[in-house]
Amino acid sequence: MADILELSVQYRVIGTECRKKLLELENALNSGEFCENEYELKRRITMLTAMSRDCIATSNYLRAYSERRDRLERLRRQKAGI
């Protein structure tokens, strides 16, 4: 089960990094200080928004799954007297 928690942490880290890059790009767009095509920049912002959201949601799902499974396993052990 630790593997699932580790995977959850990895998804969280990736989602956080996507969010940081997203903020950088949004700041560049808002300040007008960008080197690339505005359309391309907006496309990258849209993609990073989705990736960040999906990674963090997956992280939350994996963590919740792990916690529920651990709780059920403890209950089974208690009922079995282990």
Model pLDDT for residues 6-60, shown as the tens digit of each residue? 999 999 999 999 999 999 999 999 998 877 799 999 999 999 999 999 999 999 9
Whole-model pTM? 0.81
pLDDT of residue 35: 79
What are the angstrom distances between the C-alpha of 56 and each of 17, 70, 74?
A: 11, 21, 27
pLDDT of residue 67: 93
Domain total in the chain = 1
CA 21 centroid distance within chain: 14
C-alpha distances (whole Å) from 50 to each of 24, 43, 77 are 16, 11, 40
Reading the block at residue 44, the tokens are 């990258």
- Band (81; pLDDT cuts 50, 70, 90): confident
CA angle, corner 49, sides to 19 and 33, nearest 5? 70
Side-chain-side CA neighbours of 45 within 13 Å: the count stands at 16
Query: Residue 30 sits in which domain range?
Result: 2-80
